[in-house]
Structure 1
Amino acid sequence: MAAPEVPVQLDSVPQGAEAKTSLGPGCKTPCTVSVPAPDAGFSVTFTMDKYQPATIPVQVIRNSGDFNSSPPVVMDPSPVVAELQPAAPAPKAVKHMRPKKPKPQKSAAAPAAAAPAPAATGSAFPAPTAARQ
């Protein structure tokens, strides 16, 4: 006689992840899969593009007693929900910075304006040749 199957509810945040049990069956969340009632715990792995994979352990609790009480096999947690974290962006290639080349001057007037004024224009500083008299 085959082992009885038990339903396992699977969900993820965000929804739409691929969920696969370590027992085999899988689906796209939110969903329910039927797995053979395991003797021990199992795990469910959730994967989704641009998110880190997550694996949730599931404990199997077997209850003894009559059928009027709780179900003979209980999964904990139930439902199995994974909160997926965004994947870290791929590390960017390191670019070596080159010094910027100075832009060429567009007109001859620009350098003259930046140059110190000659002594003939009434500068407060004497011309360098004036000091040697």
Structure 2
Amino acid sequence: MRRVIAIAVTGASLAGCSSFSLDSFKSAPPLVKVALESTPSGADATTSLGPACKTPCSIDVPAPDAGFSVTFTSPKFQPVTVPVQVIRNPGDFSSPPTTVIEPSPVFAELQPAAPPPKSMRPKKPKAPKAAAAPAPAPVQAGTR
């Protein structure tokens, strides 16, 4: 009976090892604060990573290995997309690693949208001019 229990315990412990992964030792990407500004203020700023806010604002995003973009939109203005670079400094024995966002703050100047094109409706016919008073009949000479 002891053998059966020992085999069961050994099997259960080995089964736990099969689900072991080195990913559990990796740390989550650091969060970096990104300041977002626009002219005019109050634009919707949406990152390609997901978080969004209304300018001026700042958001925390996980620092990706590559850059990302921020799209600014506002009614009656053309949308603007600004690329953002993520610069990682690995650090050394005397300094910790750092992550820098470039540009900082992320700024966009929104341009007014062009007015919508006029529709191609047919022109209304012009109202006829009021009929002029009939000219007096010419008087014939010699008739009386």
| TM-score, normalisation: structure 2 | 0.68
SS at structure 2 position matched to 1:56? strand
Q: What is aligned with 1:94?
A: 120
What is the rounded CA distance, in whole Å, between the counterparts of 2:114 and 2:55 in structure 1?
22
The unaligned stretches of length 5 or more in structure 2 are 1-26
Q: What is aligned with 2:98?
A: 72
SS at structure 2 position matched to 1:92? coil
Runs of 4+ aligned residues of structure 1 deviating over 6 Å after TM superposition are 67-71
Picking from 10, 23, 48, the partner of 2:74 is 48
Q: What is aligned with 1:83?
A: 109
| Shift, 1:88, TM fit | 1.4
| TM-score, normalisation: structure 1 | 0.73
Worse-matched range after superposition: 91-100 or 52-61: 91-100
| Shift, 1:97, TM fit | 3.0
| Shift, 1:24, TM fit | 0.9
Picking from 61, 64, 67, the partner of 2:87 is 61
Cα distance change of structure 1 residues 61 and 105 upon mapping to structure 2, 3 Å threshold: same
Residues 88 and 98 in structure 2, CA contact (< 8 A), matched pair in contact too: yes
What is the rounded CA distance, in whole Å, between the counterparts of 2:99 and 2:33 in structure 1?
10
| Shift, 1:102, TM fit | 2.9
| Shift, 1:98, TM fit | 4.8
Q: What is aligned with 2:22?
A: none
What is the rounded CA distance, in whole Å, between the counterparts of 2:60 and 2:93 in structure 1?
20
| Shift, 1:118, TM fit | 5.5
What is the rounded CA distance, in whole Å, between the counterparts of 2:139 and 2:93 in structure 1?
110
